[in-house]
Amino acid sequence: MLVDFNTLPEESRIWIYQSNRKFSDAEVEEIKEALTAFISGWAAHSQPLEAGFEIKYNRFIIIAVNQEVQAVTGCAIDSSVHFIQSLEEKYSVDLLDKMNVTFKLGEHIAFKTLIDFKRMAKEKAVSENTIVFNNLVNNLGEWQDFWEVPASDSWHSRFF
């Protein structure tokens, strides 16, 4: 059951998928339609999941589920991964590789491999104050408070 992302409780479980490139506005509209259709029919043990989504910076797909209504099961997670894989194929993007880092360079959103980000930290091209996207947050509350943070406040701090 699709609900407004902003109405979900802070304890809602989230998944963040970052694209290796920015989506065009037209692609974002298509992805929103696909997400609406997917989430509207998303269920766990035949019980609808109360879920919503957000697309940020034309690059991140965030899906949240209110587990107080219905717990997410392995099969439901598998179906969401298959859905994300279909988006990867359709748009020729990488959404599932967790070995990449996305961060802000001024107003620009940069995407680098983890190895490149480490090198940039060593070369001081990025610093502890660089705003990074911490995609390891687990729930909506953490996402609101700890997703866009200085590198010093995330797992990225180990590179400085």
pLDDT tens profile 112-152: 999 999 999 999 999 999 999 999 999 999 999 999 999 99
pLDDT tens profile 11-53: 999 999 999 999 999 999 999 999 999 999 999 888 999 999 9
How far apart CA 119 and CA 130 sit, in angstroms, is 14
Structure tokens belonging to residue 52: 């919503």
Residue 17 contacts residue 84 (beta carbons within 8 Å): yes
How far apart CA 147 and CA 120 sit, in angstroms, is 21
Residue 155 contacts residue 133 (beta carbons within 8 Å): no
Phi, psi (5° rounding) for residue 44? -125, 120
Phi, psi (5° rounding) for residue 54? -145, 145
What's the whole-model pTM score? 0.93
Map out the domains of the chain as residue ranges: 5-91, 100-159
